[in-house]
Amino acid sequence: MHTAPARPVNDATFSVLTSGITLMQASFTDHAFERHSHDGFAIGMTTAGVQRFRCKGAQYDSQVGDLVLFNPDEDHDGSAGTADGFRYAIWYVPDAFVASCIAPEGERADGRYFARPCVTDHRMAATFARLSSSLLATPAESLRAETMLRAFLGTMLTRHGERPGVLLERASTHVADARMAQVRDYIRTYFQRDLTVADLAVVAGMSRTHLTRAFSAAYHTPPHVYLNSVRVAQACTLIRGGMPLAAVALECGFADQSHLTRRFKGCVGVTPSGWRDRLRR
């Protein structure tokens, strides 16, 4: 009797590789990620099924072997493109680590950002898969891991990147970058507060309508999505440190633990308790 292949289930595992880089391996059938972003780079590969998402105003269907490339603060969602679900592996890489892969230490990084959120590059996809498996098998070899990651990221950004000046030029017709940087920094500083568009408009010195459009143009994500991403990132740090989830919720600006759970799962794919239990230290 022919047996149909097993469908992926909603599950995820997390592993710390090196230098603050986290690997997530996940399978989803009916979970849909809400619109969110990350404070660093997210570099992944679809390993089964079709991963469907919207980013930069367009829809993408990532097939098996396709690479998914999200820049810092670039909002996107995600769900299964077919009833069979999908599987993928993804690295969450700090912005500073990527910058250090391009410029010598101590020099100003003229970095690059990924030009497209979904690319087909079989050579780099195969390297990504081999490197992920290798780093998981030898977690104690920090020097080896960092060296290999730097080489991979440098090659990826050369093949599929564009300089940030290109992105800034696109946004320059909408708003002065310095004012949006002030708004971004204000959100990072006061994320615990119940911030409003009016609060941010005062910081920027512009109308509320103009503020939302300008911030979205500068950072490819609206202010409320950016705020949630900052809160979730801080929650991850506190959960790693052993803080109880109820306290994490209040510390990060969520109304209560259920609010934290809802937003965390929408962004990360699993609940805060699930993330804590799965993370391999």
Q: Between 168 and 236, where is the model more confident?
A: 236
Superfamily of domain covering 173-280? Homeodomain-like (1.10.10.60)
Distance CA 99, CA 158 (A): 13
pLDDT for 239? 93
pLDDT band at 121 (very low <50, low <70, confident <90, very high): very high
Mean pLDDT of 165-192: 71
Q: How sure is the predictor about 176, in pLDDT bands with cuts at 50, 70 and 90?
A: low
pLDDT in tens, 210-265: 888 888 888 878 888 899 999 999 999 999 899 999 999 999 999 899 999 999 99
> What is the edge-to-edge ordering of all strands in the sheet holding 33-36?
33-36, 76-80, 51-55, 58-62
- Asked if pLDDT for residue 209 goes beyond 80, the answer is no
Candidate CATH numbers 3.30.750.24, 2.30.30.60, 3.30.70.2970, 2.60.120.10; the one for domain 11-166 = 2.60.120.10
Residue 147 in this model has a pLDDT that exceeds 90: no
Measured distance CA(180)–CA(115) in Å, rounded: 21
Query: Token digits for 81?
Result: 């493109």
Q: What is the reported pLDDT for 106? A: 39
Quote the tokens at residue 50.
């079709």
- Residue 167's pLDDT is 40
Q: Is the pTM of this model over 0.75?
A: no
Residue 108 has pLDDT above 70, yes or no: no
CB 132 within 8 A of CB 141: no
Residue 255: φ, ψ to 5°: -65, -40
> Are 113 and 168 within 8 A, CB to CB?
no
pLDDT at 107 over 60: no
Strands 58-62 and 118-119: unpaired
Contact 107, 117 (CB under 8 A): no
Q: Does pLDDT of 143 surpass 70?
A: yes
For residues 175, 177, 178, 182, the Cα torsion angle rounded to the nearest 10 degrees is: 90
Average pLDDT over residues 6-17: 73
Ranges of each domain in the chain:
11-166, 173-280
The arithmetic mean of pLDDT across residues 256-276, rounded, is 91
In this predicted structure, the answer to whether residue 184 has a pLDDT above a threshold of 60 is yes
Whether pLDDT at 65 is above 80: yes
Confidence of residue 281 (pLDDT cuts 50, 70, 90): low
Calculate the average pLDDT of the chain: 84
